Amino acid sequence: MLHADKGTFAVKSETAYGDVSERPHDDKPYVCTVCAKRFTQKAALNEHSLNHAGDKLFQCAQCQKVFVNLRYLKQHMYHHSDKFKCSECGKSFRGGRDLRRHIRIHSGEKPFECNVCRKRFAQNGDLTIHSRIHSGEKPFICHVCQKAFSRSDCLTSHMRVHTGDKPYKCHVCDKCFSQLITLQTHKRLVHSNIIRYYCPYCGKLFYLLSGMQRHVRVHTGAKYYSCRHCSECFTWYNQLKSHLLKSHDEGTWFTCHICPKKFNLKDNLKVHIRRHEGVKPYVCIDCQNPFCTRGELKLHQMVHSHFRLFCCGLCGKDFKRKNAVKVHFKRCMGANL
Residues 47 and 118 in one domain: no
Q: Is residue 94, in this structure, part of any structural domain at all?
A: no
Q: Is residue 52, in this structure, part of any structural domain at all?
A: yes
Q: Is residue 245, in this structure, part of any structural domain at all?
A: no
Q: Among residues 120, 140, 165, which one ends one of the domains?
A: 165
First to last CA, the chain: 74
Phi and psi, residue 135, nearest 5°: -85, -20
Residues 71 and 116 in one domain: no
Residues 2 and 60 in one domain: yes
Listed in sequence order, the residues at least 6 apart from 116 whose beta carbon sits closer than 8 Å to its beta carbon are 131, 134
Domain that holds residue 142: 111-165
- Give the total number of structural domains in the chain: 3
127, 129, 131, 134: CA torsion to nearest 10: -150
Residues 72 and 116 in one domain: no
Would you say 318 and 305 are in contact if contact means Cβ atoms under 8 Å apart?
A: no
Would you say 145 and 159 are in contact if contact means Cβ atoms under 8 Å apart?
A: no
Task: Give the helix/strand (H/E) hosting 35.
Answer: none
Q: Is residue 6, in this structure, part of any structural domain at all?
A: yes
CA distance 38 to 50: 14
Provide the H-helix boundaries in the chain.
Answer: 42-53, 70-77, 96-107, 124-135, 152-163, 180-186, 209-220, 237-248, 266-277, 294-301, 322-336
- Kindly list the averaged pLDDT for each block of 10 residues, start to end, along the chain of length 337: 38 38 55 77 75 68 74 74 76 76 81 85 86 85 82 83 80 82 75 70 75 85 86 86 82 85 83 89 81 81 62 64 71 61
Residues 2 and 75 in one domain: yes
Would you say 173 and 186 are in contact if contact means Cβ atoms under 8 Å apart?
A: no
Q: What is the pLDDT of residue 27?
A: 64
The CATH number linked to 158 is 3.30.160.60
Residues 15 and 76 in one domain: yes
CA 186 to chain centre: 17
Listed in sequence order, the residues at least 6 apart from 46 whose beta carbon sits closer than 8 Å to its beta carbon are 6, 9, 10, 11
Best CA proximity match to 208, nearest among 177, 190, 183, 185: 185
Q: What is the pLDDT of residue 4?
A: 40
Residues 328 and 286 in one domain: yes
Residues 4 and 62 in one domain: yes
Q: What is the pLDDT of residue 259?
A: 92
Q: What is residue 310's three-state secondary structure?
A: strand
Residues 76 and 115 in one domain: no
**Measured over all CA atoms, what is the biggest interatomic distance in the chain, rounded to whole angstroms?**
79
Q: Is residue 118, in this structure, part of any structural domain at all?
A: yes
Residues 4 and 63 in one domain: yes
Q: Among residues 36, 58, 80, which one ends one of the domains?
A: 80
Q: Among residues 165, 184, 208, which one ends one of the domains?
A: 165
CA 14, 15, 17, 23 dihedral sign is negative
Q: Is residue 33, in this structure, part of any structural domain at all?
A: yes
Q: Is residue 179, in this structure, part of any structural domain at all?
A: no
Q: What is the pLDDT of residue 276?
A: 92
CA distance 240 to 227: 7
CA distance 211 to 28: 38
Q: What is the pLDDT of residue 201?
A: 81
Residues 12 and 74 in one domain: yes
Amino acid letter, residue 332: C
Q: Is residue 317, in this structure, part of any structural domain at all?
A: yes
Q: What is the pLDDT of residue 101?
A: 80
